[in-house]
Structure 1
Amino acid sequence: MTLFWIASVILIAISILLIALPFIKKKSNNDEQLRDELNKAFYKDRLSELEEEADEGLVENQQDLIDDLKQSLLDDIPADEKKHDESNTSALAVIIPSALLVIGLSYGLYFKFGASDDVQQWQEVSDNLPALSKKLMSPEGAELSEDEMSDLSLALRTRLHYQPDDSTGWLLLGRIALANRTIDTAIGAMKKAYDIESDNPDIMLGYAQALMLSQDDVDQDKARRLLGKLVQDDYVDLRVFSLLAFDAYERKDYPAAVRYWSIMQQMIGPQDSRYEMLSRSIENAQKQMGQQVGTGQSVSVTINVGDQVSADPSASLIVSVHTADGSPMPVAAARYPLGTFPRTVVLDDGNSMLQDRKLSSLESLMVRVRIDSDGNVATKDGDWFGESEAVKMGEPVEVMINNQY
């Protein structure tokens, strides 16, 4: 506000100067010089005439006439000075009221129509940006009131006007837009953040979340690619799998939706209050698939490798589920790209080897994992492998790959 008042004083001073300038440059300021020049010319002409008349004998008292001429010039000076003083007084009589009028109108109109209270509130909100941002980023960010959301949006827009390369600011603005369901604004803000910092997982997730809400198929395809990249990079965040499950369910890919919700259950555990909600979502998807509620099960396998293991990045990862006694014939199996470790995969009835023997029919099981280096499942020479202990259905499984055929 200090800068505003300084600027306003400078502008008013310039306005007053513009009002006074015509009076300062008024031609009357040159009247004295013009008067003196005219008087000198008149005096010289009259002296010449008196000399001529004296030479012709027409004037007897030449000196008296010269003295009278000088006296008339002296009498002219006070009258002109008085006129000059009156002119100065007249100029001040115009300038001073005009200056007061400019000051009164300027500040009066500002206080009436200038929204000074809104400007002050805007500056207070801008100063409060760090506290509001911290609150939004915290787990309790959803508790921001509507007024706080509005204040934070205003403060962020102000900051981004001066710092357009602030990716965090664009991310926060996009999250606010998502909370307010203004999808176009959310996509635009998230895109700016992504353009600035495309390798930031939080920004990738936020951008994907905004694109997923778009009605444009191109936007939704881009969202799936971003989420897939996050999964490949082992970015463990419930929101990634939640978005993937939501998208799969909307596309009627119910097995994929069940798989993603099952992963989420494995990540949070039965003690989490969201576990039951995910169970209901899984049951609903299974109903859509025509399955009997409660018969579908999935196995979540967390895989890691020993320090001595070295594998070709183009190798495959073969995961197989067996009965608890270690029977060589798998009940379910799946092949994945090697990827990075540690990583988690989920197998369900869709990975069952036999139609009449589902994975969900097992009460207990064990898991074997092998790095297939040549693409032929029948050959094992030189392949690295590992297997788990026997566990009950529904329990998480961990496998360490540290053995070699």
Structure 2
Amino acid sequence: MKFAFYIAAAVMIAVALALLLIPLLRHGRRAGRSRGVFVLMLVIALIVPLGVAGVYRLVGTPSTIDNVPTQAQAGMDIHKALDELRAHLVAAPKDAQGWLLLAQAETEMQQPDQARDAYDHVLQLTPNDTNAMVGWAEAEAASRTDHRIEGRARDLLLQAVKLAPNNQRGLWLLGISDFQEGQYADAAAIWRLLQPQLQPGSTVAQAVAQQIALADARVNGKPEGTNAAAQSGGTQGPALRVNVSLAPALTTKLAAGDTLFVYARAENGPPMPVAVARLDASKLPTTVTLTDAMSMVPTMKLSSMPQVFVGARISHSGQAIAQIGDLEGNAGVVAVDSKKPIRIVIDKVHN
């Protein structure tokens, strides 16, 4: 994808968030509140989307991805800004716009549990906020190891697209939910509602077209390339068995509440994992089997590539993106059809 695409997306997000915050800033000034928290909120609106664009610009190898958090910290401490926003919301818990901003920022910072909580506050204050409905469903899926969209998440998506039939994210996620449930005809029908809203020939339009073709193939019982065996009722695609342990020298650095991420991603490509498991780090040593079911987007999964980079990270913050002080290790690049157990020893401290 072109870097210009990510910059354009970041700018659109920044503008949207700025428009959301300007009325809030004016209201705060009339109410006599300190303008500092609102200025920080505006900075979040600008810095976070541009930071995300920077991440996608720099990706290509795992080592490049690992360097992004340190670079993104230059110029401003986003975490400090978020703390200021949280403090504002403690003082003004009925500020729905503030909660929505916090939820969006937490989503961009890849903190789905916190984002879901913030979206919950929005929905308590404004039950018909379709952006919050879709955001909650997205955060819920991201926080699950299997990334399934079901239960309340699906109910909220159905409600959102009923209130706002042209909600693109809502339609996309609802289609994924149908696909995950094996309702392939329904998934294709939902995505066909999304197609007319997309720019013809764009990357997004192409991705949606691929998903529709994949769903149609499932409906018609046609094989799907490397997944043909799965169609015949045999193996259900690749299954990478990963044994993860923590080096004895780092056991003192493991803290209560730490999160273990075990993931596989493209050897050279976007940072989104094609399979990821999120576990309690206190369970180490442990064994995880990475499969196609652990991908949130059906077109980005283990069976879609010949080999992947497999790694593990213990996050103190609960964020998927590496932070200074996180513990990590990797097995390097392995073939997705490998039947041998993959061994990872977490033996390094990210810095």
Category of TM-score, reference length = shorter chain: 0.3 to 0.5
Q: Report the TM-score, using the length of structure 1 for normalisation.
A: 0.37
Q: Report the TM-score, using the length of structure 2 for normalisation.
A: 0.42
Q: Which of 1 and 2 has greater Rg? A: 1
Structure with higher helix content: 1
